[in-house]
Amino acid sequence: MNGPARTTETTPSLDRETIAQFGPHLAYAKDDRLDSGVEPDKYVKTHCCFCGQQCGMQLKVKDNLVIGVEPWYEFPFNKGMMCPKGIKRYLQQAHPDRLLHAYEKDTASPGGFKTMAYDAAIRKTAGEIERIQATYGHDAFALLSGASLTTEKTYLMGKFAHMCLRTANIDYNGRLCMVSAGAGNKKAFGIDRAANPWDDILGADVILVSGANIAECAPITTNYVWQAREQGAKVIVVDPRITPIARTCDLFLPVKPGRDTALFNGILQLMIEHDWIDQQFIANHTVGFDAVAAEVREWTPQRTAEVTGIAVKSIEQAAEWWGTAKTSFLCHARGLEHHSHGVQNVMSAINIVLASGRIGRPNCGYATITGQGNGQGGREHGQKCDQLPGGRDLANPEHREYVAGVWGMDPADLPQPGVDAYEIIRKIDRGEIKGLLSLCFNPVVSLPDNNFVRQALEKLEYYAVIDFFMSESARYATVVLPGSLQEEDEGTVTQTEGRVIRINKAVECPGEARPDWQIIQDIAKALGREQGLTFASPGEMFEELRLASKGGIADYSGISYERIEKNFGVFWPCPSEVPDGVAMPGPQGTPRLFEPGSWNPVAKGAGPFYFPDGKARLNVTAYVGPAEDVDEEFPIILTTGRVVSQFLSGNQTRRIGPLVDHCPEPRIEMHPRLATRLGITDGDWATAESRRGNCTLRASVVTTIRPDTVFIPYHWAGRKSANQLTISAQDPISKIPEYKVCAVRVRKADAPPAYADSIEPQQ
């Protein structure tokens, strides 16, 4: 016995009261949003508030109400296409659950909170920051931020932490999303950005999709992949489930969760054995091939098949197609990255790209598909625990000096690197962090082993949340400050291709709500530490960001709002100055990285990759299994992910009626072979249990999943949350949690769960 799972709360009555008061309730179109023939006052060209594709769209606005959306056909990435979330995103604005005031915890009030004057909430927050930092030290107050924010806000959050609060402890929810890809890319290429624009997918001979449920998580990319297939591309999909993009692929590799490195090592071994590698490219443009070749030698097709659970002939076919292709595109997402060895997985995938020599040319590409709206820009400019703007490092003395110079402060006063988001929670649990401010982060739903997260949050002396809705995490707050929706503010984001685009404001904040950056600056002012935090607009922040990023790897210095608008976005790097004899980037910046002869500030002309010698790195990727493998007691693999109609922790999408109607509740997906053994039929209540928690949901019995694996989507809260079960094991380099593998046991439920009759599906 490995110790009993911790008991979990069963929707205590206060929770139900909070739900009654603050939702999530469902919004549907009515009045001006439903009537035909209503002429909007204006159409605002902007982008979706959800995923990293950042589809261009127009918001129809009438009387400070977003009454609908209209395709923006000219925007080149999506040409008017939108997924269901984009079409219905307007229902989040003027929502009945929208926070119009500040709130403070008051157990005597209905829902556990009472309204509070905005100024009082700011004063209280500043006072508590002052008290906690004076009593326990600067680092005892932490910040959690997010990658759905504009780049301007992420820049401000980093500056607020490092210059105003001087706390080392700021991190962001991209820690749960993009960091394995980022670390792997930096180790292999020296830069963390998709190497190619999506147009390079069209015309590729072979497209390898690894751990990316493209049709549900990045729907617009489906059209790129399938258009390439119309033109003759072969599509290979690696996934434990036959997702909609896998349904018609040319080769499906049903990898056992957590074994991806073994697969790519096996493919590389076959490429080397058959000389399906580009020896000239390897010799001229890479370092480390021999060590990698030695490492993968033992990965015979037979051994690869035994570890990955993929048939030998499929592995051989994949290696042959990939090895002999003239052009190719490899893309991956969280399926490859959400592992305690996520960086290894990413580097093993990059190894087969580098060995093929197919990068830096038209139709020869590689990319990670970003998850959050600003998954790219949000990880570049200083809200990561070890980072300064421009992709600079907080631990690097030259970088500290440059940024401190821009900010007008002594570099010695900048804190040293802090810890990752989950470690911040552990530090709260251990009493080392006493105060927390979170913005754009819903840890109670989104972090793994969230029963532990809840316990930790209850130990805080002070917790301030900035949000537009009372998220499940905000219920743990001392004070909630009413922030802004994406459509209530302006700025830039950087979408999945590395294209910097404009978010335009459509409506004003309602009630006492403010743009998030004003709230942060109001706190700084109340602290009497407003130096450097007196921006009058996001445009002013962007101008300073240009300077702060100048000369860094993520160089935005040549980008302006005007240039973005004129060119449907600008791809970074886009420096404002380059040395004599080096060509300036074109009007669209740098759509494709690593082109032969290209210049960058690290290699300085030595080669196209971002290392002093200009060469890419093949990294040795020894296979390591998941942190928690199955055993007799917990014999089934649990993997988690998304559905198309919901987004992340659901704080927004679980309030949009038509999206909830599409998929009201999570189900446990399992193969009929497993279901039969467990005596479960489709639609039955089933209980999944791990060493950390349990969850009772209806079963969905389908042949489109490996029989040794069950799948639960993670967008729901409380007793429906998949993250009650997941493990907080993290990658040692990227610190990403292992959402994609843990061990569970599953049985038919004794009875319907208590929540079935007491709360609505989305609650």
Partner 1 sequence: MPVPDALEFFIDPGRCIGCQACIQACTECDTHKGQSMIQLDYVDRAHSTQTVPVVCLHCDSPTCAEVCPADAIKRTEDGIVHTARKPRCIACNNCVLACPFGVPKMQTEMNLMMKCDMCYDRTSVGLKPWCASACPSQALAFGTREEMARLRPHAKPVNTFQFGMQTIRTKVNIMVPRDSAVEIVDVTAAIHEPTIGHEMLDDVFEPGPDRGDA
When asked if residue 242 is in the footprint of partner 1 (CB under 8 A), the reply is: yes
- Minimum CB–partner distance for residue 226 and partner 1 (Å): 6
Q: Write out the binding residues for partner 1, residues 661-720 only, by CB under 8 A.
A: 662, 672, 682, 700-704
Nearer to partner 1, 58 or 383 (CB): 58
Burial of 18: CB neighbours in 10 Å, binned 0-12, 13-18, 19+: buried
N-to-C CA span, the chain: 34
- Minimum CB–partner distance for residue 534 and partner 1 (Å): 42
When asked if residue 287 is in the footprint of partner 1 (CB under 8 A), the reply is: no
**Packing angle between helix 516-526 and helix 118-136, nearest 10 degrees?**
60
Backbone angles phi, psi at 403, to 5 degrees: -70, -40
Q: Write out the binding residues for partner 1, residues 540-599 only, by CB under 8 A.
A: none
How far apart CA 184 and CA 341 sit, in angstroms, is: 11
Nearer to partner 1, 31 or 750 (CB): 31
When asked if residue 341 is in the footprint of partner 1 (CB under 8 A), the reply is: no
**Does residue 143 contact residue 125 with C-beta atoms inside 8 Å?**
no
Per DSSP (E only), the strands in 242-336 are 251-253, 286-287, 328-332
- Angstrom distances, CA of residue 439 to CA of 209, 467, 474: 33, 6, 10
How far apart CA 605 and CA 622 sit, in angstroms, is: 32
When asked if residue 45 is in the footprint of partner 1 (CB under 8 A), the reply is: no
Judged by CB under 8 A, which stretch of 65-73, 122-130, 499-507, 581-589 contacts partner 1? 65-73
**Does residue 614 contact residue 607 with C-beta atoms inside 8 Å?**
yes
When asked if residue 220 is in the footprint of partner 1 (CB under 8 A), the reply is: yes
Backbone angles phi, psi at 388, to 5 degrees: -125, 165
Judged by CB under 8 A, which stretch of 73-81, 131-139, 353-361, 722-730 contacts partner 1? 73-81
Element (H, E) at 57: strand 56-62
Binding residue for partner 1, selected from 64, 222, 314, 576, defined by CB under 8 A:
222
Q: Give bridge partners of residue 66 from the DSSP assignment.
A: 61
Binding residue for partner 1, selected from 76, 84, 288, 601, defined by CB under 8 A:
84
743: helix, strand or coil: strand
When asked if residue 41 is in the footprint of partner 1 (CB under 8 A), the reply is: no
The residue assigned the tokens 């019995």 is: 701
**Does residue 351 contact residue 619 with C-beta atoms inside 8 Å?**
yes
Q: Give bridge partners of residue 114 from the DSSP assignment.
A: 104
Nearer to partner 1, 411 or 672 (CB): 672
Binding residue for partner 1, selected from 118, 160, 189, 226, defined by CB under 8 A:
226
When asked if residue 31 is in the footprint of partner 1 (CB under 8 A), the reply is: no
Residue 134 CB neighbour total at 10 angstroms? 10
Q: Where are the alpha helices (DSSP H) in 515-656?
A: 516-526, 538-549, 561-566
- Minimum CB–partner distance for residue 523 and partner 1 (Å): 39
Binding residue for partner 1, selected from 231, 284, 455, 676, defined by CB under 8 A:
231
How far apart CA 107 and CA 521 sit, in angstroms, is: 29
Binding residue for partner 1, selected from 19, 26, 66, 81, defined by CB under 8 A:
81
Judged by CB under 8 A, which stretch of 154-162, 241-249, 340-348, 731-739 contacts partner 1? 241-249
Q: Please give the full DSSP string across 58-97, using - where no structure is assigned.
A: EEEEETTEEEEEEE-TT-TTTTT---HHHHHGGGGTT-TT
Nearer to partner 1, 681 or 758 (CB): 681
- Minimum CB–partner distance for residue 34 and partner 1 (Å): 5
Judged by CB under 8 A, which stretch of 214-222, 385-393, 402-410, 532-540 contacts partner 1? 214-222
Judged by CB under 8 A, which stretch of 226-234, 318-326, 391-399, 526-534 contacts partner 1? 226-234
Judged by CB under 8 A, which stretch of 223-231, 423-431, 444-452, 755-763 contacts partner 1? 223-231
Binding residue for partner 1, selected from 10, 14, 20, 34, defined by CB under 8 A:
34
Binding residue for partner 1, selected from 139, 200, 216, 689, defined by CB under 8 A:
216
How far apart CA 250 and CA 206 sit, in angstroms, is: 10
Judged by CB under 8 A, which stretch of 242-250, 295-303, 575-583, 604-612 contacts partner 1? 242-250
- Angstrom distances, CA of residue 753 to CA of 637, 690, 720, 750: 22, 17, 10, 9
Burial of 316: CB neighbours in 10 Å, binned 0-12, 13-18, 19+: middle
When asked if residue 658 is in the footprint of partner 1 (CB under 8 A), the reply is: yes
How many binding residues for partner 1 (CB under 8 A)?
A: 46
**Does residue 587 contact residue 566 with C-beta atoms inside 8 Å?**
yes
When asked if residue 223 is in the footprint of partner 1 (CB under 8 A), the reply is: yes
When asked if residue 369 is in the footprint of partner 1 (CB under 8 A), the reply is: no
Residue 18 makes CB contacts below 8 A (sequence gap 6+) with: 111, 112, 113, 470, 475
Judged by CB under 8 A, which stretch of 41-49, 76-84, 295-303, 575-583 contacts partner 1? 76-84
Binding residue for partner 1, selected from 228, 282, 627, 644, defined by CB under 8 A:
644
The residue assigned the tokens 């296409």 is: 81
When asked if residue 35 is in the footprint of partner 1 (CB under 8 A), the reply is: yes
- Minimum CB–partner distance for residue 207 and partner 1 (Å): 15
CA angle, residues 674, 677, 678, in degrees to nearest 5: 90
Nearer to partner 1, 109 or 223 (CB): 223
Q: Which of 406, 395, 467, 377 is nearest to 144 (CA)?
A: 467
Please count the CA atoms within 13 angstroms of the CA of 364 that sit on its side-chain side: 18
Binding residue for partner 1, selected from 45, 71, 361, 429, defined by CB under 8 A:
71
Binding residue for partner 1, selected from 12, 14, 20, 73, defined by CB under 8 A:
73
Binding residue for partner 1, selected from 76, 244, 625, 707, defined by CB under 8 A:
244
- Minimum CB–partner distance for residue 652 and partner 1 (Å): 15
Nearer to partner 1, 400 or 706 (CB): 706
How far apart CA 95 and CA 612 sit, in angstroms, is: 52
Judged by CB under 8 A, which stretch of 12-20, 66-74, 154-162, 603-611 contacts partner 1? 66-74
When asked if residue 335 is in the footprint of partner 1 (CB under 8 A), the reply is: no
The residue assigned the tokens 């967008």 is: 715
- Minimum CB–partner distance for residue 36 and partner 1 (Å): 5
- Minimum CB–partner distance for residue 317 and partner 1 (Å): 21
- Minimum CB–partner distance for residue 277 and partner 1 (Å): 31
When asked if residue 280 is in the footprint of partner 1 (CB under 8 A), the reply is: no
The two tokens of residue 327 are 């052009």
Amino acid at 210: S
- Minimum CB–partner distance for residue 57 and partner 1 (Å): 10
**Does residue 708 contact residue 636 with C-beta atoms inside 8 Å?**
yes
- Minimum CB–partner distance for residue 733 and partner 1 (Å): 34
When asked if residue 83 is in the footprint of partner 1 (CB under 8 A), the reply is: yes
Nearer to partner 1, 242 or 743 (CB): 242
Residue 759 makes CB contacts below 8 A (sequence gap 6+) with: 11, 16, 19, 718
When asked if residue 37 is in the footprint of partner 1 (CB under 8 A), the reply is: yes
**Does residue 126 contact residue 120 with C-beta atoms inside 8 Å?**
no
How far apart CA 708 and CA 636 sit, in angstroms, is: 6
Nearer to partner 1, 161 or 648 (CB): 648
Per DSSP (E only), the strands in 579-702 are 616-617, 636-641, 667-670, 685-689, 694-701
How far apart CA 276 and CA 282 sit, in angstroms, is: 12
Per CB under 8 A, residues contacting partner 1 are 28-29, 34-37, 68-69, 71, 73, 80-84, 86-88, 215-216, 219-220, 222-223, 226-227, 230-231, 242-245, 247-248, 644-645, 658-659, 662, 672, 682, 700-704
